[in-house]
């Protein structure tokens, strides 16, 4: 699935851009895993390693990692760069709950 297909695969989609060598990204891995588990498939979560998905990162305008983006109907609605508390991330996704 391409990046464009991914962000249009559901009404609401969470995308994370990361790198395996990034310590902030490594600290976010268990947080993102927990968020995925709590979402229980209601909202797809796509994770892109910028070293393997440079075109997608460029297309999304990613300048720092980790970067989290919520897409609604294929359009960016929210973005956060850097570490973020899992509860805050989940609450932000849930703010779109009436849309998925």
C-alpha–C-alpha distance, residues 25 and 59, integer Å: 20
The domain tally of the chain equals 1
| Mean pLDDT estimate for the chain | 95
Q: Determine the 3-state secondary structure of 18 from DSSP.
A: strand
What domain range is 42 assigned to?
3-99
Contact (CB, 8 A) for 47 and 18: yes
Cα-only R_g, the chain: 12
For the entire predicted model, the pTM comes to 0.95
CATH code, 61: 3.40.30.10
Contact (CB, 8 A) for 37 and 93: no
Give pLDDT tens digits for 20-40: 999 999 999 999 999 999 999
**Catalytic option among 14, 25, 65, 90:** 25
**Catalytic option among 22, 29, 39, 45:** 22
Q: 31 an active-site residue?
A: no
C-alpha–C-alpha distance, residues 88 and 30, integer Å: 15
pLDDT exceeds cutoff 80 at 100: no
Q: 22 an active-site residue?
A: yes
């Amino acid at each position: 699935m391409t990046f464009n297909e991914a962000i249009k695969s559901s009404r609401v989609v969470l995308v994370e851009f990361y790198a395996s060598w990034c310590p902030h990204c490594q600290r976010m891995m268990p947080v993102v895993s927990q968020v995925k588990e709590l979402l229980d498939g209601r909202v797809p979560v796509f994770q892109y390693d910028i070293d393997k998905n440079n075109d997608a990162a460029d297309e999304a305008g990613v300048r720092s990692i980790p970067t989290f983006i919520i897409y609604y109907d294929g359009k960016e609605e929210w973005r956060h760069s850097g570490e973020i508390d899992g509860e805050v991330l989940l609450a932000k996704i849930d703010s779109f709950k009436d849309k998925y």
